[in-house]
Amino acid sequence: MTKEEIHTIIKNTLLSDAIGIITEKILAGIRISKEEGLLLYEQGEIGFLGMLANWINSEKNGKNIYYNKNIHIEPTNYCVNKCKFCSYRKNPGEPGFWDYSIQEILNIISQHYKNNITEIHIVGGVHPDRNLYYYADLLKQIKSNFPKLFIKAFTAVELFYMIEKAKISLYDGLVILKKNGLDSIPGGGAEIFDKKIRSKICDEKASAEQWLEVHKTAHLAGIPSNATMLYGHIETYEQRIDHLLQLRNLQDNTKGFQAFIPLKYRNKNNELSHLKEVTLTEDLKNIAVTRIFLDNFQHIKAYWPMLGKEATEIALTFGVDDIDGTIEDTTKIYTMAGAEETKPTLSIEEIKNMVKNAGKEAIERDTVYGIVSE
């Protein structure tokens, strides 16, 4: 779809004046405001939003859909926090509790290394008895055993806890981790920045300001990161747009975010299980609005273990240019929360078919979006 074709659609359809004006701004490369973003959520028609987001994405990334060969490591599900949406946290002694040693983590990586993985993604519970130097040692041992692997590790929530406990500055703590092998930071823990919602769903964990400060400091220290938003629980559209605005503002300052990942709330086995999950239409609308609003983010990722494989394929024409990776059945966070994929694994053939069905091209990348040649 070209710009001219979108202009024709605006003229010949029953789009409201307001949506028509916002679209003209977008086509002219003019940033839209918070109020205009909210209007897209409230009044935007799903097919039109998808077309617009797909056009923006093709201007930024052509037909490329990025994926990587990765595994996740979830070192423990022991956690000092008690987020109401979490289906994963367990106390020692409870069925389903785990707490891997460094050696066990190295063994897991060895089992997958032969498959040419390029990245390990490490996130887990905030363990009360571990500290910054333990995690620095973990990174160091992974790097010395598997020097070619990129390590994307620890949400801002885990980082804030371990660095505060070490009584050093965020900058110094992050530099220690970087020197020991931290290559990038995943986007988890952001949830929804709004104070009222945060106090209702994840009262104990790092605040919005602390989450943003960790990412800002990481960018200053030369560590790139991702950002997420947990949507589809008790938040409003206004709170979603406010969350996106705070990310867009920080990205203007630091340019350190690589990808934005909307995370759909899944409702099994947690304290918010009474809430209904949102529909696929809502998922696609949310993806499209985020692609339109976050004009300074290069990549929008559909995290397929959360969204499901079929929905991810559709998302590829709603503004998404990244689908995370092969994962090889190494994450439990979403399975425990009721996502369809009970053993999340995506083969290269499946990725290529999914991307081809969407009329795009699959490109293998590393963690920092360098292209991996076959």
Distances (CA, A) of 374 to 356, 363, 364: 17, 10, 8
Which residues are CB-contacts of 28 (< 8 A; sequence separation ≥ 6)? none
> Which of 293, 303, 304, 318: binder of ligand V47 (CB under 6 A)?
303
Q: Which does 186 bind (CB under 5 to 8 A by kind): ligand V47, ligand SF4, none?
A: ligand V47
Site string for ligand V47, 61-90 (x = CB under 6 A): ------------------------xxx---
In angstroms, rounded to a whole number, what is the distance separating the alpha carbons of residues 11 and 325? 40
CB closer to ligand SF4 out of 157 and 177: 157
Q: Give how many residues touch ligand V47 by CB under 6 A.
A: 22
Residues 6+ apart with CB under 8 A from 178: 221, 222, 223
Is residue 126 near ligand SF4 by the rule CB under 6 A?
yes
First-to-last C-alpha distance (Å) of the chain:
30
| 205: contact with ligand SF4 by CB under 6 A | yes
Instruction: CB nearer to ligand SF4: give 332 or 360.
Output: 332
E strands, 155-213, in order: none
- How long a stretch of residues is the chain? 374
86 vs 351, beta carbon nearer ligand SF4: 86
C-beta of 52 vs 127, nearer to ligand V47: 127
Nearest of 56, 66, 139, 127 to residue 102 by alpha carbon: 139
Provide the 8-state DSSP code for 209. Answer: H
Contact with ligand SF4 (CB under 6 A) among 58, 81, 141, 273? 81
In angstroms, the CA 327 to CA 343 distance is 10
Residues that bind ligand SF4 in the complex, under the rule CB under 6 A: 79, 81-83, 86, 88-89, 125-126, 157, 202, 205
Residues that bind ligand V47 in the complex, under the rule CB under 6 A: 85-87, 123, 155, 186-189, 191, 226, 228, 230, 261, 263, 265-266, 270, 303, 324, 333, 337
